[in-house]
Amino acid sequence: MSLVQDVLAVFLIVSGLLIMLVGSLGILRLPDFFTRSHAASKVDTTGIIFLLAGLAVHEGLTQAMGKLLIAIAFIMVANPVAIHALARAAWNHGERPWANGKSQRKETR
């Protein structure tokens, strides 16, 4: 039982770390704001859920596990909403998507 628990926890934590690494690289590599927010919203949410699920498996059936599950549910709702709000603000501010190799926005840094 305990060995299965540990193996599952290690697997979930490592895959969560890898997914978050992909999210960070996506924020660095993708060409414009909207594609970057794709990376930040989906990949990071999934990564954090995997990591916290791994910690919950390692913790076992205690009260802290309940708190972790509440945190997972909250992050699953809140992270996309926050990024949607940011993308909406960017859209209303006049940011425009990158299309076919050139940015539509004037390069004003």
Nearest to 13 by CA among 5, 23, 2: 5
* Cβ nearer to another protein, comparing 1 with 85: 85
**H/E stretch holding 89:** helix 63-93
Q: Report the nearest approach of another protein to the CB of residue 71 (Å).
A: 5
Query: Nearest 5°: CA angle at 10, between 83 and 77?
Result: 20
Q: For the segment 9-48, give every residue that binds another protein (CB under 8 A).
A: 10, 13-14, 16-17, 19-48
- The whole-angstrom separation of Cα 55 and Cα 44 is 16
- The whole-angstrom separation of Cα 6 and Cα 62 is 16
**By CB under 8 A, is residue 8 in contact with another protein?**
no
* Cβ nearer to another protein, comparing 1 with 13: 13
Q: For the segment 45-104, give every residue that binds another protein (CB under 8 A).
A: 45-49, 51-52, 55, 58-59, 63-64, 66-68, 70-71, 74-100, 104
